[in-house]
């Protein structure tokens, strides 16, 4: 009888199946590094997305602007409704004679300008009780509003807005003065003089001077 299921030749041995080659260890290492990088990238994206959502829907106090004193939003409604006396630090005073040399014995106008350089509107009096003008030569007082107070209004209170200016023009007749402001005083002689303006505001005083000559 013949062996029907057998296809091999008599005496021939069956060969074992071929095995696939084992991957190089360096290939395994590269694959593990790539997989690890993918995991790190995915985790980073998830964390960044969660942080962005948190900041959007639950902003922290650190992200809000800090209302510091340097971030001034201007005067308050109370400051505007209830102005107070100007601090001398918020005022600028100037004397603006028409020329550095004036004719002796002739009247001259002396403009006095006060400016609010502060951050809020404030009150300032430029009447005779607060404003004083004195013309002198060395230690000699030649003329003063403290002698002849009629040259200024008794009271002239101003509400100065921020950066606002006001000018008072004082007329000097070119003569000397004494207490009580007697008439027929002699004229100031040619020479070098100094005009000094003093302004009281609050509890302090602001001074400004200008030198001029009479010819």
pTM value is 0.63
- Burial label, 147 (beta-carbon count in 10 A; 0-12, 13-18, 19+): middle
pLDDT at 66: 55
- How many angstroms separate the CA atoms of 168 and 179, rounded? 23
Residue 213: name the closest of 62, 99, 63, 88 by CA.
Answer: 99
Walk along the chain (215 residues) and give the pLDDT tens digit of each residue. Answer: 555 545 555 555 666 565 556 666 677 677 777 777 787 788 877 887 777 777 776 665 445 555 555 455 666 777 777 899 999 999 999 999 999 999 999 999 999 999 999 999 999 999 999 999 999 999 999 999 999 988 888 889 999 999 999 999 999 999 999 999 999 999 999 999 999 999 999 889 999 999 999 99
- How many angstroms separate the CA atoms of 79 and 120, rounded? 7
Residue 95: name the closest of 193, 168, 201, 164 by CA.
Answer: 168
- How many angstroms separate the CA atoms of 201 and 162, rounded? 16
The helix/strand/coil state of 46 is: helix
pLDDT at 35: 77
The helix/strand/coil state of 4 is: coil
Provide CB contacts within 8 A for 198, sequence distance 6+.
Answer: 131, 132, 133, 134, 205, 206, 207
Check if the beta carbon of residue 199 is closer than 8 Å to that of residue 91. yes
């Amino acid at each position: 009888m013949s062996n029907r299921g057998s296809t091999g030749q008599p005496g021939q041995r069956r060969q074992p199946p071929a095995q696939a080659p084992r991957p190089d260890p360096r290939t395994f290492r590269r694959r593990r590094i790539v997989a690890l990088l993918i995991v790190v990238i995915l985790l980073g994206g998830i964390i960044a997305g969660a942080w962005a959502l948190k900041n959007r829907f639950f902003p922290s106090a650190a992200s809000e602007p800090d209302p510091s004193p340097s971030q001034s939003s201007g005067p308050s409604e109370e400051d505007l409704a209830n102005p107070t006396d100007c601090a001398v630090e918020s005022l600028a005073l100037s004397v603006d004679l028409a020329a550095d040399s004036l004719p002796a014995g002739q009247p001259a106008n002396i403009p006095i300008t006060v400016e609010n350089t502060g951050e809020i509107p404030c009150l300032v009096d430029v009447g005779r009780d607060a404003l004083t003008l004195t013309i002198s030569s060395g230690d000699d007082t030649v003329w003063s509003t403290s002698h002849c107070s009629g040259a200024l209004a008794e009271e002239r209170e101003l509400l100065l807005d921020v950066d606002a200016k006001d000018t008072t023009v004082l007329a000097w007749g070119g003569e000397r003065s004494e207490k009580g402001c007697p008439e027929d005083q002699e004229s100031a002689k040619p020479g070098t003089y100094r005009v000094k303006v003093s302004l009281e505001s609050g509890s302090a005083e602001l001074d400004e001077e200008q030198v001029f000559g009479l010819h």
